[in-house]
């Protein structure tokens, strides 16, 4: 087994069994806090000597959550509630649930009522995040989260601890950005599924542990000779793209992921937290700096399409695969402006409906094969 394969196997083991990882942290005497999508300031959890643990749904069938949600809610919200209702999150010392879209708002209340055994921390974000009042609001929300975490941890989150946590996270973000670039440059070494596995596993590991392995992997990838990739390259866009069945279709069609605009992937580690003397302000400034995300208010509808067009050009992608989470209002609302931007730039794209209950990928396979043919004719 090559060193690269050996390192990828470590990530694979963790990404395929998050509960085992959570249980191992608990067995070490650590408290673990579930961090729901989106923009949870995980640094606060780490600064309280606890383990931030990503909870972004899972693949399977939703049953118990159907009693709380009508079927036209996105699966990521329903799945997170399902995980709680069916005891899969038992062991967590708390969860932080945000309210960034119309689906997450009812999730906050349904989770609070339906899963009373897990301490619940509500978190709100301002849409006018760049104004002074927005920055003040983010600080006030983060302070509330901080106080609740301190209660659970039984320890104070000092500025020094928070600054250390910010450093750990900035280092992790940089390593993940580097990996995304290297994976795009070396599709012969990293398949779409392996790329997803590396990024997904970060949600279930302490970031310094993840970074240590990722740095080794990045170093190995840097040693590789320039790639002689004969397939095509795409950019993926959407909320989450961690489906093994879907990613295997890309692989079967020799499509490599050159870059992504995925909330669960690059959107979550694009912006570092400023390392300054006031870490609570720094966290709010980082959120204020976030942009080009369907979850965030942006008065300029051309900004995100322009950002994605640039990403396509910079990464050498030949087209965009938009993975449209079913019943996701924020992604659907911004689809027309993205479509217009891509068409104006002459970038081929395809939109594929996707959700975490999907088991039949026949239609997706046909669409991706046809899109692959389009890209190949341009090669």
* Binds ligand SF4 by CB under 6 A, chosen from 328, 352, 364, 368: 328
* Binds ligand SF4 by CB under 6 A, chosen from 17, 159, 329, 343: 329
Q: With respect to ligand SF4, which residue has the nearer C-beta, 220 or 331?
A: 331
What is the smallest separation between the CB atom of 21 and ligand SF4, expressed in angstroms? 23
Q: With respect to ligand SF4, which residue has the nearer C-beta, 14 or 35?
A: 35
Q: Does the protein bind ligand SF4 through residue 81 (CB under 6 A)?
A: no
**For residue 297, how many other CB atoms are within 10 A of its CB?**
12
Site for ligand SF4 in 29-58 (CB under 6 A): 37
Phi, psi of 94 (to 5 degrees): 175, 165
* Binds ligand SF4 by CB under 6 A, chosen from 50, 62, 76, 259: 76
* Binds ligand SF4 by CB under 6 A, chosen from 103, 243, 253, 290: 103
What is the smallest separation between the CB atom of 324 and ligand SF4, expressed in angstroms? 10
Phi, psi of 182 (to 5 degrees): -65, -40
CA proximity to 214, closest of 260, 251, 180: 180
How many whole angstroms separate alpha carbon 280 and alpha carbon 287?
11
Please classify residue 366 by burial: count the beta carbons closer than 10 Å to its beta carbon, then call 0-12 exposed, 13-18 middle and 19+ buried: exposed
* Binds ligand SF4 by CB under 6 A, chosen from 22, 77, 198, 296: 77
Q: Does the protein bind ligand SF4 through residue 338 (CB under 6 A)?
A: no
CB-based contact 191:254 (threshold 8 Å):
no
CB-based contact 273:169 (threshold 8 Å):
yes
Q: With respect to ligand SF4, which residue has the nearer C-beta, 187 or 330?
A: 330
Tokens of 23: 């249980």
- Which part of the chain contacts ligand SF4 (CB under 6 A), choosing from 173-181, 297-305, 328-336, 346-354? 328-336
* 224 SS3 class: coil
Q: With respect to ligand SF4, which residue has the nearer C-beta, 268 or 372?
A: 268
CB-based contact 322:335 (threshold 8 Å):
yes
Task: Determine the straight-line distance between the first and last CA of the chain, rounded to whole angstroms.
Answer: 33
Size of the site for ligand SF4 (CB under 6 A): 14
Binding-site ranges for ligand SF4 (CB under 6 A): 37, 74, 76-77, 101, 103-104, 239, 295, 325, 328-331
């Amino acid at each position: 087994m090559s060193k690269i394969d050996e390192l990828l196997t470590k990530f694979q083991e963790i990404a395929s069994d998050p509960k085992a990882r959570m249980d191992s942290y608990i067995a070490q005497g650590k408290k673990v806090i579930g961090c729901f999508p989106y923009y949870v300031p995980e640094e606060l959890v780490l600064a309280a000597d606890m383990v931030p643990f990503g909870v972004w749904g899972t693949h399977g069938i939703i049953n118990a959550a159907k009693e709380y949600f009508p079927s036209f809610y996105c699966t990521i919200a329903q799945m997170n509630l399902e995980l709680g209702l069916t005891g899969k999150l038992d062991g967590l010392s708390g969860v932080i649930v945000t309210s960034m879209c119309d689906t997450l708002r009812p999730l906050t209340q349904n989770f609070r009522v339906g899963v009373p055994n897990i301490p619940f921390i509500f978190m709100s974000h301002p849409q006018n995040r760049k104004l002074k009042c927005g920055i003040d609001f983010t600080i006030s929300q983060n302070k509330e989260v901080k106080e609740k975490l301190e209660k659970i941890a039984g320890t104070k989150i000092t500025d020094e601890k928070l600054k250390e946590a910010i450093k750990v996270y900035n280092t992790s973000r940089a390593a993940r950005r580097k990996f995304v670039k290297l994976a795009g440059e070396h599709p012969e070494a990293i398949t779409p599924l392996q790329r997803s596995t590396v990024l997904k596993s970060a949600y279930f590991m302490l970031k310094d542990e993840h970074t240590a392995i990722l740095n080794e992997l990045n170093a190995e990838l840097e040693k590789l000779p320039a790639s002689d990739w004969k397939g095509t390259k795409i950019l993926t866009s959407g909320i989450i793209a961690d489906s093994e069945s879907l990613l295997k279709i890309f692989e079967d069609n020799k499509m490599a992921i050159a870059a992504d605009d995925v909330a669960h992937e690059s959107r979550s580690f694009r912006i570092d937290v400023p390392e300054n003397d006031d870490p609570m302000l720094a966290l709010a400034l980082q959120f204020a700096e976030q942009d080009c995300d369907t979850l965030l208010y942006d008065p300029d509808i051309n900004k995100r399409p322009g950002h994605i067009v640039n990403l396509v050009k910079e990464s050498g992608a030949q087209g965009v695969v938009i993975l449209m989470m079913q019943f996701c209002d924020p992604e659907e609302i911004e689809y027309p402006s993205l479509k217009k931007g891509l068409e104006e730039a002459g970038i081929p794209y395809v939109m594929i409906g996707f959700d975490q209950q999907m088991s039949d990928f026949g239609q997706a396979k046909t669409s991706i094969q046809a899109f692959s043919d389009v890209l190949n004719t341009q090669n």
